[in-house]
Amino acid sequence: MNLRDVRLGTLKSYYRHMRLVSEHFGRDPRRLGEKSARQYLLFLKEEKRWAASTIRQAIASMRMFYGGMLGKSWQLWDVVVCRDRRKLPVVLTIEETAAALGCVALLRHRVPLRLIYCCGLRLDEAVRLTVEDIEPGRIVVRDGKGGKDRYVPLSDIMYRQLQRYWKRHRNPKWIFPSAGRGHPGDARERMGKSDAPMGKGALQKAFHDAVVKSGIRRKATIHTLRHSYATHLLTLGVNLRQLQLYLGHEDIRTTILYTHLVPFGEERSMEHIEAIARLTL
């Protein structure tokens, strides 16, 4: 897998899925045949009702294990298909976003969450930001999804807030260092000495609690902030191609999904719809 330049995150995913296969059958997965693999994938789809993207991860790991490592040329891989059912993502209004972020209790959680919204970052991209990645007017997102680097615009307001926040802990590497465990009174000191970035779980819990406290009834996650960023920028007139670069989408069709959430000229469109209806009276 090193020769195939498999990324660490993908490698961990492969191991996790093969561990689940082993636990499901209660034996060494090397002893399983094509029929068992077929039954397992049907189990994931029909009984576990996993999302299509997660099933595709399981397929990729099994294909690597049985085909790439054990050399088994099964017909199963030519047959199995798992398509996405395209669902529109949950998006918050600007007012709802402000309300949720305003309910985040701790500054060390509120600042990275606000940055995720203001720059449309993925959670993993945000927590791994270093001091060298922050520049006036832009952020350098290094080794993003697909192993690609990109620049993301950074407002002056957000840049100044990041400066003030960093001066509280002055960690030599991380913008959002881990606070570790212990008494909250010495969190700054621990953050300044930390050699690890903030854990993703802490931010996820903080945002979940803030959404509940704000009274928002929709199922919003941290990734909802990224969806909201994209939708709000499109509504305000940002070019679709430019937004694709900001978000780091390889395929513009992924970015086009957000156009279904934006009321582009809806009032004017209704005027034209009414006009053509009158013409046929």
| Catalytic-role residue among 24, 122, 138, 142 | 122
Q: Choose the catalytic residue: 24, 45, 138, 223.
A: 223
**Euclidean distance between CA atoms 1 and 62, whole angstroms:** 13
Give me the catalytic one of 7, 72, 145, 150: 145
Torsion of the alpha carbons at 54, 91, 230 and 50, rounded to the nearest 10 = 0
Active site annotation includes 249: yes
What contacts 267, CB < 8 A, 6 or more positions away?
A: none
Instruction: Considering the candidates 63, 226, 227, 232, report the single residue annotated as catalytic.
Output: 226
258 noted as active-site residue: yes
Q: Spot the catalytic one: 72, 142, 168, 249.
A: 249
CA distance 160 to 175: 13
Q: Is 213 a catalytic residue?
A: no
Please give the structure tokens belonging to residue 159.
């840049």
d(CA 130, CA 141): 10
Catalytic residue (one of 66, 165, 246, 258): 258
Residue 63 annotated to the active site: no
Beta carbons of 144 and 101 less than 8 angstroms apart: no
DSSP sequence for 78-120: HH--------PPP---HHHHHHHHHT---HHHHHHHHHHHHHT
Tokens of 24: 């499901």
To the query of whether residue 14 is one of the catalytic residues in this protein, the response is no
Q: Which residues are tagged catalytic?
A: 122, 145, 223, 226, 249, 258
